[in-house]
Amino acid sequence: MPKRKPRPQKRRRRSIMAFEMVRLDRTATEPLHEQLYRQIRDELKSGGFSEGSSRLPSSRALATDQGISRSTVRLALSKLHAEGYLCSKPGSGTFVANLLPETFLTAEQPKANQPIQRPVRISDRVRAIPDTRVGNQFDLGATGAGAGISLVASIPAVDEFPIAVWERLRAQVLAKKGVNLLRYSSNRGDVDLRKAIAAYLCDFRAARCHPDQIVIVAGMQQAMLISAMAVLNPGEAAWIEDPCYQQTRRVLGLAGVKIVPKEVDAHGIDIVRSPKEPLPRMIYVTPSHQFPLGVTMSFQRRTDLLDFARAHNAFIFEDDYDAEFRFVGPPLPSLQGIDNASRVIYAGTVSKILCPSLRLGYVVAPEQLVDSFVKIRSAMDQHSSPIEQATLARFITEGFFLSHIKRMRKIYAERRDFFIKQFNELLGDRFTLQVPEAGLNIVAWLKREEDFPIIKRITSEIGVRPSALSFFCIQAKLTPAFVFGFAAWTPTQIRESLVKLASTLRNQGKNLSYGRQSR
């Protein structure tokens, strides 16, 4: 017998509206088709449906769902058609009409769109977050770098992320662990990942910890929030570096902490305390590479800081966000590794090493704090994605993590050298670069302070967008400077951006009226 050709499978289009709220009462005097008509009409009137988004189920499906005959359904639908609630598209199905009859009959706006009459009361907690962004400014991501914007600080080269390897490992862990990765999981984090991170930190950051001290978190911000909530009551003081990573202030603001800004000198955070200053319960520092100035904390300052914390019963929060990218001299041990008094909460993130969208980080907590941290995480959002955690564990244990760091360090070193050379050639007359030993950013100090407004304006206009150093300052009054990122752009892109900035500055500099206006 000749084999029948398999029929091409029709793609079944699913209806978007289910009308699950329809309840027909067979004992009522109102006929079933009337009940169906009325309930569908009311649902259409109350919802924000539009022709583009809302396909109705077929009359057969509706009839089956409701246990009624198709002719009853057809009666109800034809009335809705006739009144303008529905329209048909041949070959596609029945849809909600774009403009429902009510739109024509009443001048009133639907309820959902009514403007709020009274100002909404927002909590003090929201006001305590120092963040002036509004609306779609929140859609640009933490660093505000959209397409075509370059030299933004703190952005890693995510296009170098080994997606294929990650996908392969992800598929492997899913095949091996299956549904176990789909359930709620440990509030501490994946046990294999905690083991892998503990081993990495002991070997490469000279940390002293075991896997039970590690809590996997959703990045550095969550590490800060959990730590602040665990060791500070609202209103108690935390010292932070000034200038400082802007998210630190926002997170501590959210935690209701009193922020005490402390100057940063050539050795790191200044820990001399004036009699007026409250004693800190927590001191936030970036010892490997101060953000944004780039200073590496000296050994003397590290021991002074540890002594201070011990003497005053304070915790030190060590944000080790990009220690892997050190370009001069041997890697420095973490502060956690030289702490003998369990005063350091160490935190790391994969945002710079791998990519920020993974939202994965880790805290090494002093033993007495571990359960409190986990308790907060459990109350907050339980845990990070088990699938990504298991994938990261494999990524580390199979050696990809270290080889990726090595490869990226080489790429970043080349980009950094190229940036410094090109910058000095093209913009050396206006800026002095302060080249740090580590990290993905470089501070450029202005040679003439009066250039600041015009440079600020030009950089935002041409899309070459270093951050003004003042953006990171709380009370610090530093001479004007800009923080440039170099890591996420190829040498060609770096050169193009610097040429654009230098030539625009040259042209605008000639145009004195522009210069005067912008001051």
- Site for ligand PLP, rule CB under 6 A: 154, 219-221, 245, 286, 291, 319, 321, 349, 351, 356, 361
Give the chain's length.
Answer: 519
CB of 221 to ligand PLP, least distance (A): 4
* Smallest distance from ligand PLP to CB 13, Å: 41
Closest CA to 215 of 348, 403, 111: 348
Q: CB of 322: closest distance to ligand PLP in angstroms? A: 7
Yes or no: say if 485 and 466 are a contact pair by the CB < 8 Å rule.
Answer: yes
Q: Quick one: 71 or 471, whose CB is closer to ligand PLP?
A: 471
Closest approach, Cβ 158 to ligand PLP, in A, equals: 12
Pick the closer one to ligand PLP by CB: 351 or 391.
351
By beta-carbon proximity to ligand PLP, the closer residue of 237 and 487 is 487
Shortest Å, Cβ 228 to ligand PLP:
14
Q: Determine how many CB atoms are found less than 10 A away from the CB of residue 61.
A: 16
Cβ atoms of 502 and 189 within 8 Å: the answer is no
Rounded to whole angstroms, how far apart are CA atoms 423 and 497? 10
Q: Which is nearer to ligand PLP, 273 or 359 (CB)?
A: 359
The residue among 356 and 386 lying less far from ligand PLP, judged by its C-beta, is 356
Rounded distance, CA 338 to CA 316, Å? 12
Q: Is the peptide bond before 292 cis (omega within 30 degrees of 0)?
A: yes
Question: Which amino acid is it at 145?
Answer: A
Minimum distance, C-beta of residue 348 to ligand PLP, in the bound complex (Å): 8
DSSP letter (8 states) at residue 367: G
Answer yes or no: are the C-beta atoms of 396 and 324 closer than 8 Å: no
Q: Of the two residues 359 and 457, which places its CB atom closer to ligand PLP in the complex?
A: 359
The enclosing H or E element of 242 equals: strand 237-242
In the complex, minimum distance from the CB of residue 56 to ligand PLP, in angstroms, rounded to a whole number: 45
Distance CA 507, CA 512 (A): 10
Taking CA atoms, 212 is separated from 61, 141, 368, 370, in Å, by: 54, 33, 11, 8
User: Is the CB of 291 or the CB of 346 nearer to ligand PLP?
Assistant: 291
Q: Are 483 and 443 in contact (CB under 8 A)?
A: yes
CB of 433 vs ligand PLP, minimal distance in Å: 19
> Closest CB to ligand PLP among 231 and 487?
487
Token output for 393:
């564990």
* Phi, psi (degrees; rounded to nearest 5) at 297: -65, 130
To the nearest whole angstrom, how small is the minimum distance from the Cβ of residue 286 to ligand PLP? 5
Q: Six-digit token pair at 414?
A: 């080349």
φ, ψ (nearest 5 deg) of residue 79: -70, -40
Nearer to ligand PLP, 190 or 319 (CB): 319
Least separation, in Å, of the C-beta of 337 and ligand PLP? 19
Report the number of secondary-structure helices (H) and strands (E) in the chain.
16, 14
Q: Among residues 426 and 483, whose Cβ is nearest to ligand PLP?
A: 483
Burial of 44 (0-12, 13-18, 19+ CB in 10 A): buried
Laid out side by side, the sheet with 481-485 consists of 431-434, 441-446, 481-485, 467-468
